[in-house]
Amino acid sequence: MRDKARLDDDFSALYRTHLRDVYSYAYYRCGNHHDAEDLTEQTFLQAYRHFERAVAESEGRPLRPWLIRIAHNLAANYYRDRSRRPQTQLEDAAVISDPHETADLVEGREELGAVLAGVAALADDRREALIMRFALGMDNKEIARALGRSEGATKVLIHRAIKQLEQSLDE
């Protein structure tokens, strides 16, 4: 019983530490708050079911890539089951905290819209790698673990995603 209590405490710490990352990933994938909450909840429910085994197999490595991998798989199922693509509302994409002139705001929103459209047009693996890298701040090693790829393949994937995004923005 004592081991169960310790396991629950460890999972609670994992939850508190990575809730924001899992939710952010889910939000970028789903594009709306309600679906992101559902996906986050499902991610942690599934993680809880397999937590003991994951801790044993992790050999002390961080579990964030494992959580993102769970969220990745659940998001893939979500879209396969519903045949939907993520859509992010432009208003939700950035919070403007400093006052700007109207022309600056319009130009910034147009640029942001172009970037979001370019990211949405990327292949799923490229889009997810960019989300993990730039929205979650994951390093290549963590992304590789989350996507089930080698670190070298992940570097190439991110590089190609950035190049493709740059090309789409130039057009």
Q: Is the pLDDT of residue 135 over 90?
A: no
Q: H helices within the chain, ranges in order?
A: 2-30, 33-58, 64-82, 90-93, 102-121, 124-130, 140-147, 151-170
**pLDDT at residue 97 in the model:** 47
**CATH number for the domain running over 102-171:** 1.10.10.10
Name the percent of the chain lying above pLDDT 70. Answer: 81
Confidence at residue 78, expressed as pLDDT on a 0 to 100 scale: 77
- Separation of alpha carbons 124 and 120, rounded Å: 9
Q: Tell whether the model's pLDDT for residue 108 goes beyond 70.
A: no
Residues 6 or more apart whose CB falls under 8 angstroms from that of 22 comprise 40, 43, 44, 67, 68, 71
* Amino acid 75: pLDDT: 87
Q: Specify the range with the lowest mean pLDDT, choosing from 29-33, 62-66, 155-159.
A: 29-33
Domain ranges of the chain: 1-86, 102-171
**pLDDT tens per residue across span 114-134:** 777 888 888 888 988 988 998
pLDDT (mean) for 18-22: 94
Q: Helix 2-30 vs helix 64-82: angle between axes, to the nearest 10 degrees? A: 50
- With a cut of 90, say whether residue 28 has pLDDT above it: no
Asked if residue 58 has pLDDT above 90, the reply is no
Q: Which CATH architecture has domain 1-86?
A: Orthogonal Bundle (1.10)
Q: Work out the mean pLDDT of the chain and round it to a whole number.
A: 83
Comparing 145 with 109, the larger pLDDT belongs to 145
pLDDT for the residue numbered 81:
67
SS (HEC) of 9-45 = HHHHHHHHHHHHHHHHHHHHHHCCHHHHHHHHHHHHH
Residue 106 burial (CB count, 10 A)? 11
Percent of the chain at pLDDT > 90 equals 42
Q: Do domains 1-86 and 102-171 have the same CATH topology?
A: no
